[in-house]
Each structure stands twice: as C-alpha cells, then as structure tokens.
Structure 1
Amino acid sequence: MDGLAYDLKRLALGDGEGSYLTRNQRHRGLQLMARDLRGLGYKLPAASSIKPRHVEALIGHWRSSGLSAGTMKNRMGWLRWWASRVRKPNVVPRDNDSAGIEKRSAFNGNRAHATPVERMVALPYRMQLALHLQMGFGMRLEESLKFRVSQADKGDRLAMQSSWCKGGRAREIPIRTPRQRALLEALRKECGDGSLIPQGQRYIDFRKEVEHVTWGAGIRNMHGHRHWYAQWRYRTLTGRACPASGGATYERMSRGEKAADFRARMQISHELGHGRLAVTDTYLGSRFAKAQNRRNESKPLKAHPGA
C-alpha cells in the first residue's frame, strides 16, 4: 500500500460520517482511485497532494473505460468527499455537467417486485422478516437488519434512527394496515428489544450471510422491494397506479390528479429517506412520457404483503 492509499484509508475509515456500509463503499471507491492514479503514472505522497490535473486524469480514464453515468456520479461524490477532507474542494468540478458527465435517466424500467412465497419460506425466519420489512415499510437491507421495533414503534408510525439509515438521515414511516402491525408484533416476539442481527454476530457478517442465502434461494434484487413499497404507497395515496406500473403520465392527468401526484411523491420520498424527488422518480416512473420510454411491463400490484 503506497502513501496515497494509506492516507485515503485513514481518512475514509477514521471518519464517522454515514453508515457502516456507506463508509465501506467510500473506502473501496477511494482505494480504486489510488490504484487508477498509480496506473496512470501519478505517485501522490498523500491525499492532500491532489490537484486538478489528477482529477482530470481520473475522469478521462473513467470515460475511456466506458463506465456508466451512474457509476461516474458515485465516484465523483467520493472524489468530492476526498477533496473536502483535505480542504481542497475547488480541485473537483462543482457539478457533473461541467465535468462532462451526462445526466442519468430518472427511470430505466420498472424494478418493483415482491418475493414469491415459495422462495420466501425457503429462508431462515429472521431473513424472512428482513424481507417483509423491506416490502412492508420500504426499508433498505441495512435498515431492516438494524431495525429495533422496541425503539421505533410509536403507535401510528416508525421512528427510524439515524444510525440505521443511509447517510445518517433519520425519518418516520407511517403504520397504515393491520398486516404491517402484525409484522411488527412478529418482530417483537422474535427479537425482543434487539434487532434481527443474531446476538454475538457482527452486522457486516450477517449481511453477507443474508446476501449469500437469498442469492441461493433465487432472490436477485432485494432493492426491488423498496420499489414495490413505493408503488403500493402511491396507489394508496392517489387511488391509481403510478406511471412505472402503467398509470397515467403527467400530461394525461387532470389538474387535481397532478396535485395529488406531487403530494404523493413528496410523501413517498420522505418515507424512503430521499432528499430529492428525482430519486423517487426511479421508483415511481417519470411523470413525463418522453422520459418514461414506455417501459411499463410490470404486472398489477398485489395486496400488501405485510407479515
């Protein structure tokens, strides 16, 4: 490990900002940048040695490697974090447009799905509960594993603690149905005051175990459960399907429907823990037909899975 890689490791793992997964992903991304710079002929002695020419070399390398716009945006985020930590924010372009990175399409096909019962029952019970939390409350995998019902249950809502959530952004999720309530009671019975992570086991080890077991059971896209929740909530809030699952796009809505669409997206964005509506559009589909690309091939939503 050279001086730059060691310095970036110290910065990334020594900083308490964000969840464990966020810090780990940032660390891996920064180590990749250190290797890229070394391969491009730049031998930086420390993280504070970064200059605009190094940033330009990285962006050019990523572009020539054919990386997607989404991947490049993630790396730019890590690069800005690096520059800010060494008090050199101006060495990195302030926005991705000026760096020549094209905008990512807000909607790229409907990814919502609920795991079939026959695959669900093949999982250990605690893993089943984790997946039900994702479908029933739109939680990320990390959130579902760290979630403690004894701390979060406020009767009509769940108070998600910042230490469970991506980016440390606490939020509240409403409890609306008897099946959601039944799921919470099942969690309380199984875990008591604890989380789904077995006692004596580290979060990261249990997460890897969940990913391995679910993959073996044929469950390939757990994040699709959040998409499913978002689309179910849209239907309950507006009384109709969202554009991603075949509902009307913005130009086909009445004035009242447009207002209801906006309110629903704001509410769902809050429940999912997103700060921008553009991110929620990837779950619900763009409001505009041109961006939608007519890729609405999903089946109608089934009843809420709950517990």
Structure 2
Amino acid sequence: MDALAYDLKTIALGDGEGSYLTRNQRHRGLQLMARDLRALGFKLPAASSLKPRHVEALISNWRSAGLSAGTMKNRMGWLRWWAGRVRKANVVPRDNESAGIENRSAFNGNRARITHTDKIGALPLRMQLALRLQMAFGMRLEESLKFRVSQADKGDRLALQSSWCKGGRAREIPVVHPRQRALLDELRQACGDGSLIPQGQRYIDFRKKVERVTWGTGIRNMHGHRHWYAQWRYQTLTGRPCPAAGGATHERLSRIEKTADFRARMQISNELGHGRLAVTDTYLGSRFAKAQNRQ
C-alpha cells in the first residue's frame, strides 16, 4: 500500500459519515482510484496532493475503459467526497455533465418486486421479517436489519435513526395500514428490544448470510421491494397508478392532479430517504412521456 492509498484509508475509515455499507463502498472506491493513479504514473504523497490533472486522468481512464455512466457517476461522488475532505472541492467538476459524463434516463423499466408468501416462507424467521419490512415500509436491506421496533415505533409513524440509514439521514415513515401495524407487532414479539441481527453476530456477517440464503431460494433484486412500496404509496396518496405501473404521465393530468402528483412524489422521496423530486422517476416512472417511451 503506497502513501496515497494509506492516507485515503485513514480518511475513509476514520470518517463516521454514512452507514457501514456506504463507508465500506466509498473506501473500496477510493482505493481503486489510488491504484488507477499509480498505474497512470502518478505518485501522490498524500490525499491532499490531489490536483485537476489527476482528476482529468481518472475520468479519461474510466472513459477509455468503457465504464457505464452510472458507474462513473458513483466514482465521481467518491472523488468529490475525497476532494471535500482535503479542502480541495474546486479541483473536481461541480457537475457530471461538465466532466463529460452523459446523463441517463432515470427510469429504466418497472423494477417493482413483491416476493410472494411461498418464497418468503422458505426463509428463516428473521430474514422473512427483513424482507417484509422492505415491502411494508420501503426500507433498504441495511435499514431493515438494523431496525429496532422498540425505539422506532411512535404509533402513527416510524422514526428511523441516522445510524440505520444510508448517508446517516434519519427519517420518518408513516404507519397507515393495518398490515404495517401487524408486522410491527410480529417484530416486537420476535426481537423484543433488539434488531433482526441475531445476538452475538455482526451486521455485515448477517447481511452476507441473508444475501446468500435469499439468492439460494430464488429471491432476486430485493431492492425492488422499495420500488413496490413507492408505487403502492403513490396509489394510496393519489388514487391512481404511477406511470411505471401504467398510469398517466404529467401532460395527461389535470391541474389538480399535477399538484397531487408533485406532493405525492415529494412525500414518497422523503419516506425513501432521498428528499429529491428527480429520484422518484426511478421508482415511479418518468413524469413525462418522452422520457418514459425511450424504454
């Protein structure tokens, strides 16, 4: 490990921002950049030695390697984080478009998934509850595993703690349906004051076990449960299906319906832990027919 890789490791692992998975992915991404820079002939003595020419070399190398726009955007996010931590934010382009990274359509087909009872029933109880939490409340897998019903349940809403959530962003999710309440009661009975992670096990070890077991039972794309939740919430809030599920796009809505669409999308974005309108296109389908029809 050279000086740059060691310095980046110290910065990345010493920073408490974000969930365990977020920090781990960021660290691996930064180490990959350190290796790329070394292979390109740059020997940076420290993370603070980052300069525009290093950023340009990395972007050019990624483009030559044929990386997808999504992968490059992830790496740009880590690169901006690095630059921000060493107070050199200005050496990285402020937006991806100015870096020559093309925009992609947010909607990439309906990815909503609901795992049926027969497959869920083949899983151990704690894993069953984790998947059901995803479908009932739109939680990420990490959030569902770390979730403690005794701390989060506020009656008409769940208060998710920052340490459970991606990016350390605490949020609230409303409890609006009897099946949600019934699930919370099951969790309380199964886990008491604890989380779904069995006592004595580390989060990362149990997560890997969940991923291995679910894959073995034929359950794919658990993230699709969040898409299903988002679409269910849209139907609940607006009274009609979202564009991804065959509903009308923005230009076909009345003025009142457009207002309801905007409010529902912002509400759902907050419940999913994003807080941005644009990201709802991924879950609900694009608001505009032209973008929708490219699929």
Shorter-chain TM range is over 0.9
Q: Which amino acid aligns with 1:212?
A: R
Structure 1 residues 149 and 102: CA distance shift in structure 2, 3 A: same
Contact 2:244 2:285 in 1 (8 A): yes
Residue 185 of structure 2: aligned partner: 185
> 1:237 offset after TM fit, Å?
0.6
Residue 276 of structure 1: aligned partner: 276
Q: How many residues align?
A: 295
- TM (norm. structure 2) is 0.98
Residue 65 of structure 1: aligned partner: 65
> 1:86 offset after TM fit, Å?
1.2
Query: 1:35 & 1:220 partners in 2: Cα distance?
Result: 32
Residue 128 of structure 2: aligned partner: 128
Q: Which amino acid aligns with 1:44?
A: L
> 1:209 offset after TM fit, Å?
0.7
> 1:66 offset after TM fit, Å?
1.2
Residue 234 of structure 2: aligned partner: 234
Residue 300 of structure 1: aligned partner: none
CA RMSD of aligned residues (A): 0.9
Residue 138 of structure 2: aligned partner: 138
Q: Which amino acid aligns with 1:230?
A: A
Structure 1 residues 266 and 9: CA distance shift in structure 2, 3 A: same
Residue 113 of structure 2: aligned partner: 113
> 1:272 offset after TM fit, Å?
0.5
Query: Which piece of structure 1 moves more, 69-78 or 180-189?
Result: 69-78
Q: Which amino acid aligns with 1:31?
A: Q
> Which contiguous aligned blocks of 4+ residues in structure 1 show a shift greater than 2 angstroms?
none
Query: 1:39 & 1:217 partners in 2: Cα distance?
Result: 41
C-alpha distance after superposition, 1:193-235 (max 9, x if no partner): 0000000100111111111111111111000000000000000
Residue 31 of structure 2: aligned partner: 31
Residues 1-307 of structure 1 aligned to structure 2 (within 5 Å): 1-293=1-293, 295=295
Query: Which piece of structure 1 moves more, 275-284 or 192-201?
Result: 275-284
Q: Which amino acid aligns with 1:6?
A: Y
Query: 1:83 & 1:264 partners in 2: Cα distance?
Result: 36
Query: 1:169 & 1:17 partners in 2: Cα distance?
Result: 10
Q: Which amino acid aligns with 2:142?
A: E
Consecutive unaligned residues in structure 2, runs of 5 or more: none
User: What SS is found at the alignment partner of 1:196?
Assistant: coil
C-alpha distance after superposition, 1:112-150 (max 9, x if no partner): 010122211111110000000000000000000000000
Query: 2:205 & 2:228 partners in 1: Cα distance?
Result: 27
> 1:294 offset after TM fit, Å?
6.1
Give the percent of matched residue pairs that are identical in Structure 1 and Structure 2: 85
Query: Which piece of structure 1 moves more, 272-281 or 52-61?
Result: 272-281
User: What SS is found at the alignment partner of 2:95?
Assistant: coil
Q: Which amino acid aligns with 1:188?
A: R
Query: Which piece of structure 1 moves more, 128-137 or 163-172?
Result: 163-172
Query: Which piece of structure 1 moves more, 38-47 or 200-209?
Result: 38-47
Residue 301 of structure 1: aligned partner: none
- TM (norm. structure 1) is 0.94
Query: 1:77 & 1:275 partners in 2: Cα distance?
Result: 18
Query: 1:280 & 1:195 partners in 2: Cα distance?
Result: 29
Query: 1:237 & 1:64 partners in 2: Cα distance?
Result: 45
Query: Which piece of structure 1 moves more, 5-14 or 88-97?
Result: 88-97
C-alpha distance after superposition, 1:87-108 (max 9, x if no partner): 1111111111111111121111
Contact 2:266 2:275 in 1 (8 A): no
> 1:184 offset after TM fit, Å?
0.2
Q: Which amino acid aligns with 1:80?
A: R
C-alpha distance after superposition, 1:138-196 (max 9, x if no partner): 00000000000000000111011111111111111011111110000000000000000
Q: Which amino acid aligns with 2:62?
A: W
